[in-house]
Structure 1
Amino acid sequence: MTELLVTPKSVEHIEVLIEKGADAFVIGEQKFGLRLAGEFDREAMREAVQLIHEHGKKAYAAVNGIFHNYHLNALEDYIQFLHEIKVDRIIFGDPAVVMYVKAQEQPIPLNWDAETIVTNYFQCNYWGKRGAKRAVLARELSLEEILNIKAHAEVEIEVQVHGMTCMFQSKRMLLGNYYTFQDRQMKIQRQDSGKDLLLYDEERENQYPVFEDYNGTHIMSPNDICLIEELDPLLEAGIDSLKIDGVLHSEEYINVCTEQYREAIDLYQEDPEAYEDEKFMLVDPIEAIQPEHRPFDEGFLFKHTVY
């Protein structure tokens, strides 16, 4: 069964998403995980994991940050904490996480997520031999590449099917530093503050969301991936997990996407022909609440990256 993976914004939001049909959740603290839809401190993590497990769902802790030496003591302590609360998977990109997890008596399985470099099955299998049970594929892969990796991978494969993607990250607080240089104060706020910060490309009429957190500055894609009408080859190939990334989107938006993708997956698994007939209508409720400045696209599913 293909898993529907979502990114909740709070413990209360998890309850709603369980009702909407989510199978698994990415949660964590921003000082350990990259671009989280919601911030979960230790108390919230403990509460969230208990709630998720009570409903027979999976909790994945995001620990895929870029770590320096001065982070390591805190990282080791956090890994121990995640084992105490018994999350189902730990998402990582840094080998330091692997070393700390292996030092535990009963190591938690790992999901390898190194963003743009997860591009071939040798990489997936390399980390599979070192504790990873899953590889989170780069968003820049074509459908042909995804299917080829799945056919040769010895680990589970996760693919993002909806939401924005990160185009650029700097460890520096570029915006905050710029305003400080100008002797201006700027408080960094996230999506739920109601104040979006966008870079505007006048030539292409694209608007790129920008936000800063503990991990630095992130510039996001101007479009949202939407593959709800293109799930058949992914489901036929047995892709293990389909992810809806709700970063910088509202709870309502994530709820609607979860509901529609749940219906799409279930429809395909019951009757692929029924999915083929109805898939074009499944996108309508999402389109109805899609921000005007963020058109849909199919990511790189049917095109190749040009560098």
Structure 2
Amino acid sequence: MILPELLAPAGNREKLHVAVHYGADAVYLGGKEFSLRNLADNFSPEELSDAVSYAHDHGVKVYLATNIFPGNADLVEMRRYLEKVAEIPLDACIVADPGVLELVKEISPERPLHLSTQANTTNWLSARFWKRQGVTRVNLARELSLEEIREVKEKGGLEVEVFVHGAMCISYSGRCLLSSIMTGRDANRGECAQPCRWGYALVEEQRPGVYFPVMEDERGTFIFNARDLCLLEHLPELVESGVDSLKIEGRMKGIHYVASVVRVYREALDRYRDDPEGFRVR
């Protein structure tokens, strides 16, 4: 049985070491610029080079997130940044914006390109389109069902990556304006304040002072504050679907979170490989 890659977050060097130690096959991380987790510690070009060397020495791949949506004013600095990291032997760049994709292809033509969930890939025809643009892997939108994931894998013609654990977003794959409107922090530039996790109530304008609580339990309701994703119980179906990579969200999470989640998924995947019929979530 061939297991999918276990892809873990690395918000800084210490978290990278932890992810490697507890069994990640690959890590994704961001630089000090142009990553969608600006509040994480992230890596300077020099730190990034050291991180890649450490990971490769332990047989772990490294993917660099360059998945913001830059404006015209950002393009010169974006180019400079990509030129700075061009000689670092990264295993892929994660992109969302077609312009950034073109820059990576121009500056590092041999570098594999992974399409971020920010690109909202929800069908196999879109996957084929991105393949024609040079993308080698697509991170599918969290909203897809298992059957839809299978179909993209069968018909898309490229590697498929899916989230298995971590925070969800109330908007389609992170395309949210709540944070920008309410706090001035742009989610599409890595500064999301997660206002969807605040406490809310609905008020009908003809009945001021009468509040309907907005909450979610195992039966609903999906308005705000989505429950975190956990697909441990569905690992057998995901493995059998042929997906290539299982991604854990959490570059902003602490060291203990990274350690515990990576360890749990590593052990679960290995148990399923060794005994598919007897696999149970502990």
Shorter-chain-normalised TM-score: which range? 0.7 to 0.9
Q: Are the aligned partners of 1:28 and 1:40 in contact in 2 as well (CA < 8 Å)?
A: yes
Aligned partners of 1:87 and 1:108 also within 8 Å: yes
Query: Are the counterparts in 2 of residues 17 and 255 from structure 1 also a CA contact under 8 Å?
Result: yes
Query: 1:249 corresponds to which residue?
Result: 253
- The residue type paired with residue 148 of structure 1 is E
Residue 268 of structure 2 is aligned to residue 270 of structure 1:
no
Post-superposition CA distance 1:105-124 (Å, at most 9, x none): 64311001142620011111
The CA deviation at 1:51 is 1.0
1:67 & 1:273 partners in 2: Cα distance? 48
Name the counterpart of 1:170. 177
By how many angstroms is 1:190 displaced?
8.4
Q: Given residue 20 of structure 1, which amino acid in structure 2 is its aligned partner?
A: Y
Match of 1:222 among 226, 233, 237: 226
Q: What CA distance in whole angstroms lies between the structure 1 residues aligned with 2:244 and 2:184?
A: 41
Distance 1:67 1:161 in 2: 28
CA contact (8 A) 2:14 2:255 kept: no
The answer to whether structure 1 residue 101 and structure 2 residue 104 are counterparts is yes
Range moving further from structure 2, 227-236 or 164-173: 164-173
Asked whether the 8 Å contact 1:61–1:91 carries over to 2, the reply is yes
Equivalent residue number for residue 35 of structure 2: 33
Q: 1:118–1:197: structure 2 CA closer, same or farther, 3 Å change rule? A: closer
Compared CA separation, residues 226 and 28, structure 1 to 2 (3 A):
same
Which residue among 145, 150, 157 is the counterpart of 1:147?
Answer: 150
Q: Report the counterpart of residue 64 of structure 1 in structure 2.
A: 67
Q: Given the alignment of the two structures, is residue 131 of structure 1 paired with residue 141 of structure 2, yes or no?
A: no
Q: Note the alpha carbon deviations across 1:156-204, whole angstroms, 9 max, x for none.
A: 00000000023353397545559xxxxxxxxx9989xxxx995102413
Amino acid at match of 1:4: L
Q: d(CA) in 2 for partners of 1:190 and 1:173?
A: 9
Counterpart Cα distance in 1 of 2:44 and 2:108 = 24
Q: Distance in 2 between matches of 1:82 and 1:157?
A: 25
**RMSD, aligned α-carbons:** 2.8
Conserved 8 A contact 1:64-1:114: no
Measure, in 2, the Cα distance between the counterparts of 1:80 and 1:107.
Answer: 14
TM-score of the superposed pair, with normalisation by structure 1: 0.74
Residues 133 and 156 of structure 1 are in contact (CA less than 8 Å); yes or no, is this contact kept in structure 2? yes
Q: Secondary structure at the match of 2:87?
A: helix
Deviation at 1:42, TM superposition (A): 2.2
Q: Distance in 2 between matches of 1:29 and 1:97?
A: 15
Q: CA deviation at 1:48?
A: 1.2
Contact 2:30 2:37 in 1 (8 A): no
Counterpart of 2:13 (choices 11, 14, 36) is: 11
Aligned pair count reads 253
Contact 1:6 1:24 in 2 (8 A): yes
Read off the aligned partner of 2:56 and give its amino acid letter: H
Q: Select 2:214's aligned residue among 181, 204, 210.
A: 204
Is 2:117 the counterpart of 1:117?
Answer: no
Amino acid at match of 1:16: V
Structure 1, gaps ≥5 residues long:
179-187, 207-219, 282-307
Cα distance, 1:38–1:243 mapped onto 2, change above 3 Å? farther
1:118-144 per-position Cα deviation (integer Å, ceiling 9, x unaligned): 001111111112211101000011111
The one of 232, 236, 244 aligned to 1:232: 236
Pair 1:82–1:204, CA change in 2 (3 A): same
- Please say if residues 190 and 248 of structure 1, whose CA atoms lie closer than 8 Å, have aligned partners that are also in contact: no
> How do 1:56-95 residues align onto structure 2 when only pairs under 5 Å count?
56-95=59-98
What letter corresponds to residue 78 of structure 2 in structure 1? L
